[in-house]
Amino acid sequence: MALAKLGVVVVDCPDPHALAGFYAGVLGGTVEANSDDSGEWVDLKVPGGPALAFQQAPGFVPPKWPAPDASQQFHLDLVVEDLDAAEKGVLELGARPLDTEDRERTFRVYADPAGHPFCLCAC
């Protein structure tokens, strides 16, 4: 029996509105600011999937990829039908390639505009 239920995955970043907009472009969905519109917390409601939240983190330092001397906090695996088309789309939205040279693999690694690693994975 579970002790809890996952509420939301929260991503720390310098600009919650901008990063929520990036992921809305990748995943679809609706960006919703918190009720006081302070800009410190923004939700992305994804149709048919879990929500993502973006929280302002003063002094944010993005993780390094790969980082043998430091642990990675987490990353998102995003399942896509066509790796090449998805790659073109995320790059147009502001992603940066981190590990994309091996075109035979079923995944490619990118950084979002705030520097968080994420993977596009062929289904």
Task: Judge if 8-59 and 61-123 fold alike in CATH terms.
Answer: no
pLDDT for 6? 76
Q: Please state the pTM of the whole predicted model.
A: 0.85
CA–CA gap between residue 102 and residue 108 (Å, rounded): 8
Full 3-state SS string of 48-82: CCCCEEEEECCCCCCCCCCCCCCCCCCCEEEEECC
All structural domains of the chain with their residue ranges = 8-59, 61-123
Closest of 29, 24, 21, 26 to residue 47, by C-alpha: 29
pLDDT of residue 106: 93
* Residues in Cβ contact with 115 at an 8 Å cutoff, skipping those fewer than 6 apart: 62, 63
* CATH fold label, 8-59: 3.30.720
For residue 8, what are the contacts with CB-CB under 8 A and spacing of at least 6?
43, 50, 51, 52, 53
Q: What is the SS3 assignment for 122?
A: strand
Digit-by-digit pLDDT tens for the chain (123 residues) are: 765 577 789 999 999 999 999 999 999 999 998 766 566 999 999 988 889 999 999 888 888 887 666 666 778 999 999 999 999 999 999 999 999 999 999 999 999 999 999 999 997
Place of tokens 């923004």: 42
Highest CATH level, class, for 61-123: alpha beta
**pLDDT number for residue 20:** 97
* Residues found in the chain: 123
Question: What pLDDT is attached to residue 39?
Answer: 65
